[in-house]
């Protein structure tokens, strides 16, 4: 499906009916990152309209020259929300850069958001500013790496703390497939940091879930701890044997905690 925000045709997919859930992927993949991990949880429930978006310059949403900052991307998302679910309250889930954008949406639309899930969210712009651990592989699969294309093997090895065939297949289908569609010329020009300070005017008091990888060498987990007081209803979980693709490496715990978050939302 397409939603035109000015001259940006935002590509998105919708699953189910009911209360809207806006899903935002990270920097360079596409919506399949989120469908791959969230649908196994939501398909067991009824009453939710899951909306998976391709961000500008990623997936099937083309970037435009005037889309040159996270401020502009945020404005596009706010317009998208108003056009596709006008006046409705919704749940919000964001991964990595999508988590950063989600915090911007909370800053602007907290009164319409009934629950928030941030998966390995980016908190600070620029890796040099982040408190992150060095990359480590806790369970290496040398036989698998030897069978892969050398470039794929290098990328997989550099990202994953746990390596096996199932994780590779999901990485290939849900993440790498989107990365291969990304317009990196456009993304390199995209200024990632908001021009405004996204500190909340008031605490966000709806059910919230933070899921972070103990071995995440991309965004870490310590920077997210610094904003926890803004979310007094948050579960904050740091999972061992999990890097930036936590949803692939710790599937059972991921499914359990996301399901429990939805239950908390329903109990409100």
Domain span at 261: 2-133+183-266
Q: Let me know if residue 165 belongs to a domain.
A: no
Q: How far is CA 20 from the centre of its chain?
A: 16
CB 49 within 8 Å of CB 203 = no
Question: Which ranges constitute the DSSP H helices of 150-215?
Answer: 150-159, 165-170, 177-179, 184-189
The domain that holds 34 is classified in CATH as 3.40.50.1820
Contacts by 148-154, CB closer than 8 A, 24 or more apart: 152/176
The set of residues, in sequence order, having a beta carbon less than 8 Å from that of 183 and lying 6+ positions away, is: 57, 58, 62, 63
Q: Is the pLDDT at 194 greater than 90, yes or no? A: no
Residue 142 inside a domain? The answer is: no
61 found inside a domain? yes
The whole-number average pLDDT for the span 148-177 is: 97
168 falls within a domain: no
Q: Is residue 207 part of a domain?
A: yes
Q: Is residue 55 part of a domain?
A: yes
pLDDT tops 70 at residue 147: yes
Considering only residues 196 and 254, tell me which one the structure prediction assigns the higher pLDDT. 254
60 within 8 A of 177, measured Cβ to Cβ: no
Query: What's the domain count of the chain?
Result: 1
Flag whether pLDDT at 197 surpasses 90: no
- For a pLDDT cut of 70, what percent of the chain falls above it? 98
Residue 193 resides in a domain: yes
Other beta carbons less than 10 A from residue 87's beta carbon = 6
Q: Give the pairing of strands 48-53 and 8-15.
A: antiparallel
Model pLDDT, residue 190: 82
The answer to the question of residue 167 being in a domain is: no
Mean pLDDT, residues 139-147: 96
* E-state strands within the chain: 2-5, 8-15, 19-24, 48-53, 90-95, 113-119, 208-213, 234-239
Write down the pLDDT at residue 80: 98
Burial of residue 1 (CB within 10 Å: 0-12, 13-18, 19+) is: exposed
Kindly state the average pLDDT of the residues 87-110: 96
pLDDT score of 263: 98
Residue 48: exposed, middle, or buried by beta-carbon count in 10 A (0-12, 13-18, 19+)?
Answer: buried
Per-residue pLDDT, averaged over 217-244, amounts to 97
């Amino acid at each position: 499906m397409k939603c035109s925000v000015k001259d940006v045709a935002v590509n998105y997919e919708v699953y189910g009916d009911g209360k809207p859930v806006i899903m935002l992927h990270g920097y360079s993949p596409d919506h399949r990152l989120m469908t791959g991990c969230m649908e196994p949880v939501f398909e067991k429930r009824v009453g939710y309209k899951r909306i998976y978006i391709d961000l500008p310059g990623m997936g099937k949403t083309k970037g435009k020259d005037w889309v040159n900052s996270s401020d502009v991307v945020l404005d596009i998302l706010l317009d998208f929300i108003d056009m596709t679910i006008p006046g409705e309250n919704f749940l919000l889930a964001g991964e990595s850069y999508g988590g950063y954008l989600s915090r911007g949406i909370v800053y602007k639309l907290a009164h319409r958001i009934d629950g928030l899930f941030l998966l390995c969210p980016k908190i600070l712009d620029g890796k040099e500013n982040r408190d992150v651990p060095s990359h480590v592989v806790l369970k290496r699969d040398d036989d698998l790496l030897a069978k892969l294309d050398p470039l794929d093997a290098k990328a997989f090895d550099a990202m994953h703390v746990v390596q096996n065939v199932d994780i590779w297949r999901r990485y290939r289908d849900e993440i790498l497939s989107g990365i291969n569609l990304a317009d990196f010329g456009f993304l390199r020009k995209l200024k990632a940091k908001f021009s405004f300070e996204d500190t909340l005017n008031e605490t966000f008091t709806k059910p919230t879930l933070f899921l972070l990888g103990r071995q995440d060498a991309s965004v870490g987990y310590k920077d997210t701890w610094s904003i926890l007081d803004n979310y007094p209803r948050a579960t904050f979980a740091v999972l061992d044997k999990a890097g930036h693709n936590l949803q692939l490496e710790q599937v059972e715990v991921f499914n359990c905690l996301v399901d429990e978050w939805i239950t908390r939302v329903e109990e409100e």
